[in-house]
Structure formats: structure tokens, C-alpha cells
């Protein structure tokens, strides 16, 4: 036995070196070449959890592109690629509104009346709505038009190639899209006391332990990537309420949006809106979403101050929505 062991070890070593050697000869050192071509991508990757856990470039981009001559063979990852290792996050994401951002944008009749510069490729509307999932056919079409980046969705909050949770956990991760006149969540939040306190915490004026909420606490509670709110963007819902005046107001809004016809009957657009989860269609569905907002600290939920806090954090008073007395 004593003489056999070194012999076996030797055979094993030869085998290991041979197989290891051949495998290495076939591999390309992506990072070495890309240090010259795209140095910031490589330095970001080196700092990332991926770089530090040996998740190399080819884990996401495949290994069919090996030099400057075959660049088109590089795989441009979609969330399906992330799902190979982060299945749960991708499943959650698919259940949320972000996943629908591309299709809901295209479902807007007014989208198709915009000048090309507003809608072509990933520009204009697509600059933000690219966070949504695209079909295979859409990906092909978009790639034909240009380099075809913007398919990944998952790099909207933890941007490539750092893919940092620390970055995604700050309200600034939402700022680039949730801003501007038609969805001014950033402006409302950052000028409210909630946001001001949070930003003062970030610049260390306030101590780390100071209570101050951020977008993620309310909208991705527990890290759940399936974001959705009760009222949603259009701030209308079915069924119509008992309050006659309110029901009339809401029906007018739905008629203006083309969801109800002038007689108040549903139009084919209702099907689109259902598919894209634009409105909650039953009281139960609305209530479920409404109740799922987490309780932050000791802020009261059903009292007047809950309503005021909603108006402070994400005020909807700019839209033709019910007054606070009607919200609860």
C-alpha cells in the first residue's frame, strides 16, 4: 500500500495537469484583453461580488467571442442569464410592474404618435421603459437597429458591472427614472422631510440610527423585487365606488383613457390594461396591494397621518385623484 499511494498520486497529477492544461488552452483571457479595450468594465467587475467569486465574463457573455474579429458572437445577457444563478430574484421581478414597463409603454396608443426620436430603440420613452422584459422578436428587432444594449433589465438599480446591492439600496438608484413632471417621485421624496432626513443621514449630518425611510423600504420590502402599488400610475381602479359623484369622476377618467366607451361599457383596451396590470380590477385585489405596504416604525396606518404621509412621500395630489378623505 505504502508504495502504491505515491504511484497513484503521480498518475492522478499527470491526468490533472493534462486535462487542466487543455481546458486552459481553449479558454480566452477576456479580462486581459478588455483591460485595454474597456478598462472600466474590467475594474468594476474586479470590485464586484462576481469578480470576487470567480463569476467571470463568460458566465454572462458566453465564450463564443474570443477576439476583436468576432465581437458579434458575444452574448448580450437578458434576465434569463441572471436566473441561472438568481432564480428567485428573477421570478419576483417577473411578478412586478417593472417587468411590464416595455409592453405597457408600447400598449399606449399615444406612443405610436410620438416622433421617431422619442421612441426609436432605447431613446426617449425607452430610456426608462427598457427596464421591462422584451420578447425574443423585440430583442432581434432592437439589435438590428443598433448595438442592442438595454436588454438586461436587472442592471437598472445595481448597475453593471458592479452589480452592487449597496448601490441598489439607496434611493438614488430610483432617481434616474422616477423623476420629471409626470412621475415626480424623486422630487416629492427628496423635498419631503422623509427624504431630507435620509439625505442628511447619507452625508453624515444625522447619525446612522436616525429614522428616515427610503423608497426601497416601502416598495421592495424584504428585498422583494415584485413592485406594484394599489392605485398605480393611472390612479383609477375597478369596480366603480358607491359614492355617485366619485363614480362619475372615475368613469370620466376611464372614458378619457379609452377603457370605457361613452356609454360606460368596457372597450377592448380593458383587456390590454388587464394584461399589463395597469389597474386593480377588483376591490380585493386593490385592498391586498394596499395592505401589503409595510408598517414603517410606528407610523400609523389607517389614521389621518398615514394619509398625510402618503401625500408627503409620493403625493398624488397632482393627478385628478380622490381627496385624502376618500383614500382609505
Under the criterion CB under 6 A, does residue 240 sit at the interface with ligand HEC?
no
Q: How far apart are CA 308 and CA 313, in angstroms?
A: 9
**Residue choice 47, 123, 127, 258 for contact with ligand HEC (CB under 6 A):** 127
Under the criterion CB under 6 A, does residue 280 sit at the interface with ligand HEC?
no
**Residue choice 121, 142, 178, 238 for contact with ligand HEC (CB under 6 A):** 178
**Residue choice 19, 114, 282, 292 for contact with ligand HEC (CB under 6 A):** 114
Q: Give the number of other Cβ atoms within 10 Å of residue 66's Cβ.
A: 17
Angle formed at CA 225 by CA 221 and CA 227, multiple of 5 degrees: 75
**Residue choice 121, 134, 142, 177 for contact with ligand HEC (CB under 6 A):** 177
Q: How many CA atoms lie within 13 A of 303 on its CB side?
A: 5
**Span 201-220, contacts to ligand HEC by CB under 6 A:** 213-216, 218-220
- Sorted by sequence, the CB contacts under 8 Å of residue 141 that are 6+ apart come out as none
Nearer CB in complex with ligand HEC: 10/75 = 75
Q: How far apart are CA 85 and CA 320, in angstroms?
A: 44
Under the criterion CB under 6 A, does residue 135 sit at the interface with ligand HEC?
no
Q: How far apart are CA 173 and CA 322, in angstroms?
A: 30
Under the criterion CB under 6 A, does residue 267 sit at the interface with ligand HEC?
no
Span near ligand HEC by CB under 6 A; candidates 15-23, 39-47, 245-253, 257-265: 39-47
At residue 82, φ and ψ (nearest 5 deg) are -60, -35
Nearer CB in complex with ligand HEC: 17/85 = 85
Nearer CB in complex with ligand HEC: 17/118 = 118
Nearest to 132 by CA among 111, 150, 146, 116: 150
**Residue choice 76, 200, 251, 257 for contact with ligand HEC (CB under 6 A):** 76
Amino acid at each position: 500500500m505504502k508504495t502504491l499511494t505515491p504511484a497513484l498520486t503521480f498518475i492522478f497529477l499527470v491526468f490533472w495537469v493534462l486535462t487542466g492544461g487543455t481546458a486552459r488552452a481553449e479558454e480566452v483571457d477576456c479580462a486581459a484583453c478588455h483591460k485595454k479595450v474597456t478598462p472600466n468594465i474590467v475594474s468594476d467587475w474586479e470590485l464586484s461580488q462576481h469578480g470576487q467569486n470567480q463569476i467571470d465574463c463568460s458566465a454572462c457573455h458566453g465564450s463564443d467571442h474570443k477576439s476583436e474579429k468576432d465581437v458579434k458572437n458575444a452574448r448580450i445577457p437578458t434576465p434569463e442569464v441572471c436566473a441561472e444563478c438568481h432564480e428567485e430574484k428573477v421570478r419576483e421581478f417577473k411578478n412586478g410592474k417593472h417587468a411590464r414597463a416595455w409592453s405597457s409603454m408600447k400598449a399606449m396608443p399615444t406612443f405610436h404618435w410620438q416622433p421617431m426620436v422619442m421612441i426609436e430603440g432605447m431613446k426617449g420613452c425607452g430610456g426608462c421603459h427598457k427596464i421591462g422584459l422584451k420578447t425574443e422578436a423585440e430583442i432581434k428587432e432592437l439589435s438590428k437597429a443598433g448595438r442592442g444594449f438595454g436588454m438586461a433589465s436587472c442592471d437598472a438599480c445595481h448597475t453593471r458591472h458592479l452589480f452592487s446591492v449597496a448601490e441598489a439600496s439607496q434611493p438614488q438608484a430610483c432617481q434616474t427614472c422616477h423623476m420629471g413632471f409626470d412621475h415626480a417621485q424623486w422630487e416629492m421624496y427628496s423635498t419631503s422631510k422623509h427624504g431630507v432626513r435620509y439625505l442628511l443621514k447619507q452625508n453624515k449630518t444625522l447619525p446612522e440610527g436616525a429614522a428616515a425611510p427610503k423608497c426601497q423600504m416601502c416598495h421592495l420590502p424584504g428585498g422583494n423585487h415584485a413592485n406594484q402599488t394599489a392605485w398605480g400610475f393611472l390612479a383609477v381602479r375597478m369596480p366603480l365606488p358607491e359614492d355617485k359623484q366619485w363614480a362619475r369622476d372615475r368613469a370620466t377618467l376611464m372614458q378619457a383613457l379609452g377603457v370605457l366607451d361613452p356609454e360606460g361599457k368596457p372597450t377592448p383596451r380593458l383587456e390590454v390594461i388587464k394584461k399589463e396590470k395597469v389597474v386593480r380590477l377588483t376591490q380585493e385585489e386593490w385592498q391586498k396591494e394596499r395592505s401589503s405596504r409595510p408598517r414603517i416604525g410606528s407610523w400609523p396606518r389607517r389614521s389621518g397621518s398615514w394619509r398625510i404621509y402618503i401625500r408627503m412621500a409620493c403625493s398624488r395630489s397632482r393627478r385628478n385623484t380622490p381627496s385624502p378623505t376618500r383614500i382609505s
